[in-house]
């Protein structure tokens, strides 16, 4: 296989308990994510990585391939390695289980980024920030990139800081979907937690601090990661609007 998509789906959640099973217009959130990911033209397989039998049962109920993994994993990338270690696959796309507005073009564009250039070992999606309030929102991760679209840094703070306020600058935010080559996924898993990662609570900084590059792919599609009850209501509104369009 060239590409497998994996959706890590934790039952426990600090801010919104069992959010992957939260009802959105008559379907659990994880089903919305899976159905949209299934529209990808690049995925050879799609797996939901569960840590709870309740999630596995629901996922299999709507036709998904679901695998029960350890509850002890500290991150989604750790959960990925348990799934893919025995798979003959070139690359993996980590699709967040709390992104019910994910679009299949994001998945396909990431797949091309990592398959079409052998030098790329990790890639992710970014988007121009249109709502200026997001620039100073620590829950919106900002990213700066070089001229070849590789990430220079990710931060919860405004980056770059504009010393001259008359300078025009386009800010980008990070969308939480990643592609890794299989080899690099295991390299990444074995890297020690970095100082920058601890400071910002951003796992991807571990790769940058260790000297690895992360390719960025721009999208014009905005999504909503569901972390709170308010996020859930916003997603319901967006999906209701899509149905009436």
Give tens-digit pLDDT for 185-213: 999 989 999 999 999 999 999 999 999 99
Question: Does residue 76 have a cis peptide bond before it, meaning omega lies within 30 degrees of 0?
Answer: no
Q: What are the residue ranges spanned by the domains of the chain? A: 3-239
Which of 142, 129, 122 is CA-nearest to residue 200?
142
CB 83 within 8 A of CB 15: no
The bridge status of strand 142-145 relative to strand 172-181 is: antiparallel
d(CA 201, CA 186): 20
Q: For the segment 91-132, what is each residue's pLDDT rounded down to a tens digit?
A: 999 999 999 999 999 999 999 999 999 999 999 999 999 999
> Which pLDDT band holds residue 14 (cuts at 50, 70, 90)?
low
Q: pTM for this one?
A: 0.91
Which residues have CB under 8 Å from 93's CB, separation 6+? 3, 4, 5, 6, 43, 107, 110, 111, 177, 178, 179
- Per CATH, domain 3-239 is 3.90.550.10: yes
Q: Which helix (H) or strand (E) holds 108?
A: helix 104-115
CA-to-CA separations, 216 to 18, 120, 136, in angstroms, rounded: 31, 10, 21
* pLDDT > 90? residue 241: no
Residues 100, 196, 173, 132: what is their CA dihedral angle, to the nearest 10 degrees? 120
d(CA 11, CA 118): 36
Neighbours of 3 (CB within 10 A): 23
Which of 44, 46, 43, 56 is CA-nearest to residue 9?
56
The bridge status of strand 151-155 relative to strand 142-145 is: antiparallel
Taking residues 16-44, report their average pLDDT: 93
Q: Which helix (H) or strand (E) holds 114?
A: helix 104-115
Q: For the segment 41-96, what is each residue's pLDDT rounded down to a tens digit?
A: 999 999 999 989 999 999 999 999 999 987 776 766 777 888 998 899 999 999 99
Mean pLDDT, the chain, integer? 92
d(CA 51, CA 157): 32
């Amino acid at each position: 296989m060239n590409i497998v998509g994996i959706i890590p789906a934790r039952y426990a959640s600090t801010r919104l308990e069992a959010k992957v099973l939260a009802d959105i217009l008559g379907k659990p959130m994880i089903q919305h994510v899976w159905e949209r990911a299934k529209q990808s033209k690049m995925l050879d397989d799609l797996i939901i990585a569960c840590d709870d039998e309740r999630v596995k049962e629901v996922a299999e109920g709507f036709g998904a391939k679901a695998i029960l993994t350890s509850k002890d994993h500290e991150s989604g990338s750790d959960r990925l390695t348990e799934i893919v270690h025995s798979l003959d696959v070139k690359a993996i796309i980590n699709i967040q289980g709390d992104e019910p507005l994910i679009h299949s073009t994001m998945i396909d564009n990431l797949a091309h980024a990592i398959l079409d250039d052998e030098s790329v070992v990790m890639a992710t999606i970014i988007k121009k920030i249109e709502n200026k309030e997001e620039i100073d929102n620590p829950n919106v991760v900002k990213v700066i990139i070089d001229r070849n679209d590789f990430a220079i840094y990710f931060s919860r703070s405004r980056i770059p800081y504009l010393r001259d306020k008359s300078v025009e600058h386009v800010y980008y935010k990070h969308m939480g979907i990643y592609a890794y080559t299989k080899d690099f996924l295991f390299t990444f898993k074995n890297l020690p937690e970095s100082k920058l990662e601890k400071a910002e609570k951003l796992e991807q900084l571990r790769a940058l601090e260790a000297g690895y590059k992360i390719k960025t792919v721009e999208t014009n599609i905005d999504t909503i990661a569901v972390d709170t009850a308010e996020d859930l209501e916003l997603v319901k509104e967006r999906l209701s609007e899509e149905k009436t369009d």
